[in-house]
Each structure stands twice: as structure tokens, then as C-alpha cells.
Amino acid sequence: MKKYAIFILLTFGLLSSGRKNAQKPNIIVIFSDDHALQAISAYGSPYVKTPNIDRIANEGAIFKNTFCTNSICAPSRAVLLTGKYNHINGQYDNRTGTRINTGQPMFPQYLQHNGYQTAWIGKWHINNHPQHFDYWKILPGQGLYYNPDFINMDSSRVRVDGYATDIITDEALSWLDTGRDGSKPFSLVIGHKAPHREWQPDVQDLHAFDDKTFPVPDNFFDEYAGRKAAQFQLMEIKDLRWDYDLKVNTEDVGYVKRMTSSQKAGWDKYYESENARLDTTKMTPKEVALWKYQRYMHDYMACIISLDRNIGRVLDYLDKKGLSENTIVIYSSDQGFYLGEHGWFDKRFMYEQSLRMPFVMRYPKIIKQKTVINDMIVNLDFAPTILELAGVTVPSDMQGKSVLPLVQKGKVPVKWRKSMYYHYYEFPDSHRVMPHFGVRTDRYKLIYFYGDESFWEFYDLNTDPQEMKNGYGDQRNDKIILQLKKELKTLMMQYYDTDALALLEKAG
């Protein structure tokens, strides 16, 4: 009788834990690299249509004010994983010497402890190998667009022929098909290389913009008056390299040499005929800059077409397998990017285009279709959000907050952040963007650049959304600047950024 009772208890226990797992949602995070909001139609892009990213937004929620805490690749991934600032998780920059402890607590570890199977496939970009994943297969470092190498879990390397965005999606779908333990909920990060520099489109997308002229931002020829750090940077489109970046005279370009003959033939067919029309001897420097802008935009947007198509493949797969209802799909990118604003490519600065991140999320069980969220969220919030969705208690040392209270059906108003804190470090490097920290509210932004020289910048985003007029030093702004400095100090204390606090004390 006793044995029978134990048997019943065990069976019931197993069944209920199985049922509990069955009810837990699966989680897919598709995380690309350098995808600007200006290149997503759900965010109003004038340049490109992204029907599949828009589908996630339309069937779920779009967050219109999502910001990163440090606008650069590996640091942003470390924030996604840990829910902590870079001065806590250690990934300050992209340098190869930066090797953080990947054994530190990360969201996949908490998921594993709560019955999840976890995987990361594609771009990883942190110098030590992943931990806390039941499966991973990653690009080494930045990875390649054409015929990329991958690192397997046993550290072996394998070259896979094809186009990175397709291959990463193939690998992800193949893991979903054959690598998954059907008795467990899963969490999968699909990390894309696209649309990172050098913006190498798939051959099939090279003609997607034939006859299109991309509109040029108003401040493309910005001369950076009153903004010393902007004067000092090296990330202008006019300085993009002809060969690697712009695909003119590519005979010595490594990634072209790596192409298969059919890839190379498709590539040459497009670029060689387009390049034949270019004669720089007859062009002014401004005309050359504008030509470079058009080529840059063409290549970047063609990479987006492939990215969006591959996101569609994942959504279609979920539909086909009956997984869409119980699988949360999040699309985001590690930071925003300049698409000619201020004359720039790249990121790093706390100005709007690189500070902003896309963030759309679909989960029909709790999020109404076409939900639009204007509250300010930051990438620190992603890990806590994932954990709360999975029914896991958010560890108290994570520095973000779950965004679920903002999006749940039948939500009640919640007290939410009114400002965000930013800190960029990587210097010196080839782009020469000075280290800086700052605070942004819904209307204002205060930035402190530091290094050999140190100075403040202040912007009123209502009257100067393009951040062209540094209002620091104008006494009409003194009162609000004083408030922002107080807010900055409060945030530094809240997030334990003691190095920055010391700099702030000195700056006054």
C-alpha cells in the first residue's frame, strides 16, 4: 500500500512537472548586428520594407523607445546575457584582449535550472566560448558573410559554403528539428552577422534596389560646429574604403577571394557594371561622398532584405510546426547605426541613431496585436523580461526590469523609468570616438566626453531632434542641466558605476 502511494506520488510529481514544462513558453531571440531603426518599416523606414519584422510587431508589440547602455557589439551581447552594465559584466569594449568570464550568471543558466533547453547559434562575438548553453555553434569573432567558418562545441572549426544569414537560419531550424528535446521548453538565440560592415549582400538581393536613389539625410554634410568629439571621430561615409567597403577594385579583397566561382560571377555581374559608370575624375568631393552614400545604402539595405527574409523563414517554421502560440519571438539588434546622419556610418555615440535599438516581441497568449509601447526600455531589461516570461524569478542583482508589466493584456499602469544611463568606453580605436557617459530623459540628453580633453554636451530633443546644437553653456539651459547632472549621479550610484562617479565628481 505504501509502495503504491509512493508510486502515485512519483507519477503525479513527474506528470505535473512535465505539464508545468509543457506550459512554459519557448523563447526565440533573433539578434542581429548594427540594424538601425531607420532600416525597419515598422519603425517608419523610408529606405526598405521589412515585412517579417513588421509581422512580429503587428502580431505583438513594438517598443518605440528602446536604448542600449553602450552602443557597440560585444558589450551589447554581454548586457543581453547578464542583464547588467558592462562595468559589472566586464565586457567594456570589442577588443580582442577583453575576455570576460562567460561562466558568470547569465539568463540561459537560470533557464537551464528551470527546465529549459538552451541554445545560441550564429554570431556570439564574445572572446571566450559560450557557457550555460546545451547547444551552441558560433561564428569566430565577427565572422564572414560568404562561406563562413563556424566553431563547434568541441572547438573544431568547419567552413560552411553559402551566405551567412541563410546558413545561420538553416542551422537554427535544423536544431529546432533534430537537436531539441521535445519534453522541455527551449530558449534559442539566433545571432546574425548582418547587417554589420562590410555589408556584403547575398547575390540574389543585389538588384533589389535597381533604379532606387536613397534620400540623403538633411545633416549629411554636418560640420560638427560646437561638438568637439564629433569633429574628432573617424567614421564618415566619405572615408569608406573603395575596395572592402564599397566594392570597387576588389581583386585583392580577401572576402571576394573566398567566394565560390558562381558567387563571384553573380557579384561581378552587378558591381562591375555599376562601377563602370563611376568616374571620380569628373566628380567634386561632395559628389564622391554622395556616390559612396548610395553604394553604402544599397549594400546595407540589400543585407536587410536577406535578414528579413530569413526571419520570415523562422516564423513560417513555427507556424508549420504548430509552435507559434507557445513560442515568444523577439527581434532586436545590438545597437542602432548611422545611415548617413551626421555624414556617418557606424555607432558608438550616445546620439539617437546609435543609441536606439529595435525591439519587437510576439507572444499571442499575453500580448495583444499591434501593441505600441512608448515607455523607455533599455537592453538591461531583456534578460529580466525573458526570465519573467519563463516564470523564473529575476535575480536581484540583474540591473534591468522585466517589460512585461508594460505589455500584458489588461495591464495596470506601472511606475516606470524616466531616464536612462549610458557609458561608452572603447578608445583609442580606428573610429576615434571619445569615451563618454550620459543621461537621456524623454526630452533631454546630457553627455560628458572624457579623455585628454573633457567637455559636456546638452541637447533638447524636442527643439533639436538631430542633435546639431550643443546647448551646454547657454545659461537658459542651466536649470535643466543641473537637474540632469543630479539624475546622472543618482543613476551612477544606482548602477554602481564608481569609476564614472569619480569622473563626475571631478567634472563638477
Q: Which residues of the chain form contacts with Ca ion (CB under 5 A)?
A: 33-34, 73, 334
DSSP letter for each residue of 307-368: HHHHHHHHHHHHHHTT-STTEEEEEEES----SSGGGB-S--SSSHHHHB--EEEE-TTTB-
- Which lies closer to Ca ion via its Cβ, residue 73 or residue 389? 73
Helix (H) or strand (E) holding 302: helix 285-320
Residue 445 and residue 457: Cα distance in Å, rounded?
Answer: 8
- Which lies closer to Ca ion via its Cβ, residue 24 or residue 77? 77
Query: CB of 90 within 8 A of CB of 78?
Result: yes
Query: CB of 399 within 8 A of CB of 380?
Result: yes
- Which lies closer to Ca ion via its Cβ, residue 73 or residue 439? 73
DSSP letter for each residue of 381-411: GHHHHHHHHTT-PPPTT--S--SHHHHBTT-
- Which lies closer to Ca ion via its Cβ, residue 59 or residue 334? 334
- Which lies closer to Ca ion via its Cβ, residue 334 or residue 426? 334
Smallest distance from Ca ion to CB 3, Å: 59
The distance in angstroms from the start CA to the end CA of the chain is: 77
Query: CB of 341 within 8 A of CB of 219?
Result: yes
- Which lies closer to Ca ion via its Cβ, residue 142 or residue 408? 142
Smallest distance from Ca ion to CB 35, Å: 8
Smallest distance from Ca ion to CB 72, Å: 6
Residue 242 and residue 252: Cα distance in Å, rounded?
Answer: 12
Smallest distance from Ca ion to CB 121, Å: 17
Smallest distance from Ca ion to CB 125, Å: 8
Smallest distance from Ca ion to CB 227, Å: 23
Cell numbers found for residue 391:
516564470
Smallest distance from Ca ion to CB 491, Å: 24
Query: CB of 256 within 8 A of CB of 267?
Result: yes
- Which lies closer to Ca ion via its Cβ, residue 33 or residue 134? 33
310 closest CA partner among 30, 93, 80: 30
Instruction: Provide CB contacts within 8 A for 490, sequence distance 6+.
Output: none
Q: Which residue is nearest to Ca ion (CB)?
A: 73
Smallest distance from Ca ion to CB 34, Å: 4
Output b/e per residue, 264-283; b: 16+ Cβ within 10 A.
bebbbebbeebbeeeeeeee
- Which lies closer to Ca ion via its Cβ, residue 73 or residue 206? 73
